[in-house]
Chains A and B, each alone.
Chain A
Amino acid sequence: MIPANIGVLIDEYLDGSIGAEGMKTLEAWLKQSQGNMDSFLSHVDVHVRLESAMAAAPQLHLEPETGTAEQTERVSFWRRLPVRLAAAATLIVSAGLIWWLVTEKPDNSPKYAMGRMIKQIGQVTVTDRSTVEDIASEVTTGPGSSCRIEQPDRTALAAGEQTRLEWRRHEADRAQNLTVQKGLAYVEFAPQTRPYKVQVGRLNAEVLGTRILAEQGVRTALSVFHGRMKTAVGNSRTVVLGGQTAGVDGNGMVVTGLPALNNQYAWLGQLGFEPDSITKGSELPAALADGNALDFSMYRISGGDWSITYGKQGPVAVQNDISSPEGAALSFGASRWLKGVWSCKARMLQTSTNPAINVAFTFASGESESFGAKNTPPLLLAKNSTFFIKAYFEINGEKDILSVGRLELWPENNPKDKLVAGGWVMAPGSSGVKNVRGPCAPGLHMYRCAVELSEFRLENATPAK
C-alpha cells in the first residue's frame, strides 16, 4: 500500500513538477523496500500505458455546427430591437424598390421575393420566407424537376432536381445568403459590391462575381469555375481557385481539381445555360504533378487560415493564423502512400510561444499522426528563419505499423547544421489513431506559428497497390 503523500509525489514525479524536497522524500520511501520499488515501477507502467492508450491525435477537427450561434441570435433579438426597427424602415423602402425592379419587366414570368422565374421544368415550389428584416425565397424541386431564377442584378440560379435551397437578402446591410439544404445549385453571380455568402452543410464560402456549383447530397461540395472563393469549414479557411472543388471529410476541408465531366452539367442546358462553356476558362492549377509522384491538385486542410497558390515549382502554402488553438494541418494528395521521403521548405512568418512544425501523415479515415523534433533549436523556429524538413516514413501494410525512421531539419543558410530526430515506430493502438491506418498522405502540422511552405517533395515513394 502506497501512502497518500507518496501517491501525490509520484504524480508530481510523472508530470515533472516534483521539487527537490519531494524527490528526497520519494527516494527515501523507495529505498525502504523492494516492494516499494516494485509498486512505483508498476504505477509508472500503468501511467505510460494510459498515456499511450488515451493520447488523442492532434485535435484538428471541425467546430460543431451552428447551434450556439443560433442561440446567441435568439438571446440578442430584444437587445437589438431598435436596430431591427430601423432595418424594418429600410426594408419598406427597399422592398418598394425591388417591387419596382421586378414589376417593371414586361414579361409574364412568375415573380418571387428574390427574383424572377425564368424557366421551370416539372414540379417547383417557391415559398416566400421573408421576415421583417430580410426578404427571402425558398425553392424546392421534385424528382426530375429543375428551374432557373434570376435576380434583378442578373445573378442567375439553377436548382437541380430534388433540391431545397434558400436565398436571403438582409436589407439593412444588403448581405446576401444562399443556403443549399439538399440537392444541386448552379449559380452565376453578377459582379457585386459585397460578397455573397454561400452555405452548404459545414462548408461556408464568400463569392464575388463567380460561377459555382453547390452540392449537398452524397457529398458536400462547392466547385468554383471561375474567379476565387474564400471557403471555410469551422476554423479552417482557404481560398479555392477556379477549377477546384472544396469538400468536407471527417477531419477538415479537402480541395481537389474539378472533375472534367461536362456531361454532369447537361441539365443546365435545358435551363438556358451553355453547359460546354461552364468549365471553359476555368483557371485549373498549372504544373500540379511535378514528377515527384505527389498529386498537388488535391490538398486537405484543417485549422488555420490558408492561402495556396500554384506555380511552376508546385504549390506555395501560407498559413497565416498563429492563434489556432488546435494547430493547423495541411496534406497533399490522396492517402495512397506506403513509403517515401517527404520534404519541404518552411519560412517562419510569425511565431508565438513554443512554436512547432511537425511532419504529419493523414489516413483515409481523416485521422492523422504527427512527429516533430522536441529539441528543435529556437533559432530554427524564430521569425524569418528558413529551413528544410525531411522525413523518411513507411507504413507496414501487413502490420499497419507507421515508422518514421528519421526526421531531419536544417537551416537554409547552413545545410551542415542538421538536426536529426526520429525512431518512431507506431504500432496499432499505440497512438491516438483509432481506425486502421492503411496508406497515408504526407503533410505538416503547425502549432502557434504562421508559416510559408514550399518546395514540397515526395521521393522514393511506394504507392499502395
Chain B
Amino acid sequence: MGTDPKNEEFLKLYVPMQLSLRSFVAAHVIGFHKAEDVFQEISLVLWNQFDRYDPTRSFEAWAYGVAWNLVMKARRTAARDKHVFSDELAEGLTQRFIATADAASGRGEYLQECMRKLPEDSKAVLAMKYTERRRIDDMASLLGRTENAVRMLLFRIRSALEKCIAHSAENHPAEELKV
C-alpha cells in the first residue's frame, strides 16, 4: 500500500476518477447500498490487480473495463428480481457514459459553488436526504408533503444543480438557483 512508487501511481490515477466510477456504477446498479457494494468490489479489484494494468494504455479504459465486468455480474444477480435495465440499454448507457465522461469529469469543482446558490429550504431538503440519510416517508412527514412530491422536489433540486454546473462549466455562472 501507499508510499511505494507503484501505489503512488495507483492513487494518482484512481483518485481523480473515483467519483466518475461511482456514477458509472450508480447508473447501472439500483439503490445506494447495492451500488456501494459493487463500487467497493471494483475498487478492491483495481487495487489488487493494478499489477496487470499496462501503463502504456488508458487507466480509465482499464478501470471502466473492470467496472463493466463487475457491474454485469451484479446485474445478473439482480436480474432475478427484474430490477435491471435490458442489456441493450445498459450497453447504450455505457457508451453514452464514456462518450460524455470527459465533459463530466470537470463538473465536481462547480458543485459546491452551485450548492451555495440554492435557496435555504432546498439546502435543508438536501441535508435531510444526503447528510441525515432520512427515508422518503420520513421526509414527507417532516415536510408535510406526499412521498411523490418529495421525490419530485429532490429531482428538481438536482436538476437545478445540474443546470448550474453546466452553465458554470461554460463560464456562465448562474446568480441564484430557482428550484
Contacts and interface: CB of A to CB of B under 8 A. Distances in A.
Contacts of A10: 155
A46 B83 CA distance: 22
B159 interface: yes
A401 B134 CA distance: 28
B127 A54 contact: yes
B57 interface: no
Contacts, number: 175
Contact of A401 (B15, B130, B131): B15
Contacts of A41: 23, 27, 93, 96-97, 100, 104
A49 B20 CA distance: 9
A23 B151 CA distance: 16
Contact of B83 (A20, A392, A396): A20
Contacts of B14: 425
A2 interface: yes
A252 B142 CA distance: 29
Contacts of B127: 54
A436 interface: no
Contacts of A289: none
A421 B38 CA distance: 11
A46 B23 CA distance: 8
Nearest to A50: B130
Given A43-B158, A53-B115, A38 B100 contact: yes
Main secondary structure of the interface of B (DSSP, over half): helix
A393 B136 CA distance: 35
Given A40-B27, A44-B23, A425-B11, A27 B86 contact: yes
A399 B3 CA distance: 11
Contacts of B44: 406, 420-423
B48 to A, nearest CB: 8
A46 B15 CA distance: 18
A52 B30 contact: no
A37 B111 CA distance: 21
Contacts of A349: none
Interface string A34-68: 10011011111111111111111000000000000
Interface size class of B (residues with CB under 8 A): 35 or more
B138 interface: no
Nearest to A10: B155
Contacts of B112: 53
A347 to B, nearest CB: 26
A23 B85 contact: yes
B89 A27 contact: yes
Given A41-B97, A43-B162, A51 B83 contact: no
Contacts of B152: 4, 7-8, 11
Contact of B96 (A12, A37, A55, A422): A37
A14 B35 CA distance: 9
Interface in B91-147: 92-93, 96-97, 100, 104, 107-108, 111-112, 115, 126-127, 129-132, 136
B98 to A, nearest CB: 10
A44 B161 contact: no
A424 B43 contact: yes
A430 B108 CA distance: 11
B161 A46 contact: yes
A55 B83 contact: no
B34 A16 contact: yes
Nearest to B28: A44
A37 B93 contact: yes
B112 to A, nearest CB: 7
B19 to A, nearest CB: 6
B2 A339 contact: yes
Contacts of B85: 23, 27, 30
A50 B47 contact: no
Closest 5 CB pairs of A and B: A16-B31, A423-B43, A423-B44, A7-B155, A394-B2
Given A4-B152, A394-B2, A427-B18, 19 more contacts: A20-B83, A30-B92, A37-B92, A41-B27, A41-B93, A41-B97, A45-B23, A45-B104, A47-B26, A48-B19, A50-B158, A53-B130, A339-B3, A403-B11, A422-B47, A423-B40, A425-B15, A425-B18, A425-B43
